[in-house]
Amino acid sequence: TQLLEQSPQFLSIQEGENLTVYCNSSSVFSSLQWYRQEPGEGPVLLVTVVTGGEVKKLKRLTFQFGDARKDSSLHITAAQPGDTGLYLCAGDSEGSGYALNFGKGTSLLVTP
Amino acid sequence: DADVTQTPRNRITKTGKRIMLECSQTKGHDRMYWYRQDPGLGLRLIYYSFDVKDINKGEISDGYSVSRQAQAKFSLSLESAIPNQTALYFCATSDWGTSYSSYNEQFFGPGTRLTVL
């Protein structure tokens, strides 16, 4: 099992602030995904990154995959209360083909 | 309508009871998964199935069993529930490995909150 370390574990900010959360591993991943989970719901896929150095944008969210495909970051610009939730990264390691390895998540609270 | 549904959404039971959690999907995906989520531990894989005849143990299968009744249905059973099985349980599907998807992107149900007293 490849470990995915997410940081910070908790983040509480005010509306309008910027933030970055990180997902790091010592293993190489063929792809890495970010999910957001709201209370009482299952995780929902936000994005998949597959190429080292790749940057993807989803409105105010920017996702980056590290050059070596071992780490990723999620940057949120001008956070809004609707961004509140648990952000999970999940890696699909080279040749595993069956299971995702999930990080423990970053819990984000954005207050008005 | 939701693509992945789970029943029940909440369940309280007692130690030693047999419990079945059910998952149905209308996404037409072959691959289905059962995870449990605990505070501070993240999502951990219990069992996964690539098709009706292919069922595999995940990271934490002890104390659990599964049944894949059809492509669309995947059930998780706790034969004799114990308090440390209190958790959130999620079913997920994926069409990884098909012509439609090259990546193991997963689609989750809303979860079942199970409490074992």
Residue B57 gets which letter from DSSP?
E
B17: confidence class by pLDDT, cuts 50, 70, 90: very high
Asked if A43 and B97 come within 8 Å (Cβ–Cβ), the reply is no
Mutation for B interface: A102, A106, A107, most B CBs within 10 A: A102
Higher-confidence position of A37 and A29: A37
B97: confidence class by pLDDT, cuts 50, 70, 90: low
Share of chain B above pLDDT 70, in %: 93
Beta strands (DSSP E) in A1-112 are 5-7, 10-14, 19-24, 29-37, 44-49, 55-58, 61-65, 71-76, 85-93, 101-102, 106-111
Nearest chain A Cα distance for residue B110, angstroms? 5
* Sequence letter at residue A88: L
Using CB atoms, pick whichever of B92, B103, B108 lies closest to residue A92. Answer: B103
- Cα B52 to Cα B6: distance, rounded to the nearest angstrom: 18
**Counting beta carbons within 10 angstroms of the beta carbon of residue B21, is it exposed (0 to 12), middle (13 to 18) or buried (19 or more)?**
buried
User: Using CA atoms in the order A56, A60, A66, A72, what is the torsion angle rounded to 10 degrees?
Assistant: -120
A58-86: average pLDDT: 96
Q: Is B52 on the interface with A (CB under 8 A)?
A: no
| Closest-approach residue (CA) in chain A for B33 | A99
Can you give the pLDDT at residue A10? 96
Q: N- to C-terminal Cα distance for chain B?
A: 33
Helices (H), chain A: none
Q: Is B97 on the interface with A (CB under 8 A)?
A: yes
C-beta separation of A103 from A4 below 8 A: yes
A95 pLDDT higher than 70: no
A94 pLDDT higher than 60: no
Task: Give bridge partners of residue A63 from the DSSP assignment.
Answer: A56, A74
- Cα A42 to Cα A55: distance, rounded to the nearest angstrom: 25
Can you give the pLDDT at residue B101? 63
Asked if A100 and B106 come within 8 Å (Cβ–Cβ), the reply is yes
Task: Tell me the HSE value of B77 on the side-chain side, using a 13 A CA sphere.
Answer: 9
Q: Are strands B112-116 and B10-13 parallel, antiparallel or unpaired?
A: parallel
| Closest-approach residue (CA) in chain B for A105 | B42
A13 pLDDT higher than 90: yes
Nearest chain A Cα distance for residue B95, angstroms? 11
A102-110: average pLDDT: 95
Mutation for B interface: A34, A48, A92, A98, most B CBs within 10 A: A98
Can you give the pLDDT at residue B104? 79
B99-107: average pLDDT: 75
A100 pLDDT higher than 70: yes
Nearest chain B Cα distance for residue A39, angstroms? 10
Q: Is B61 on the interface with A (CB under 8 A)?
A: no
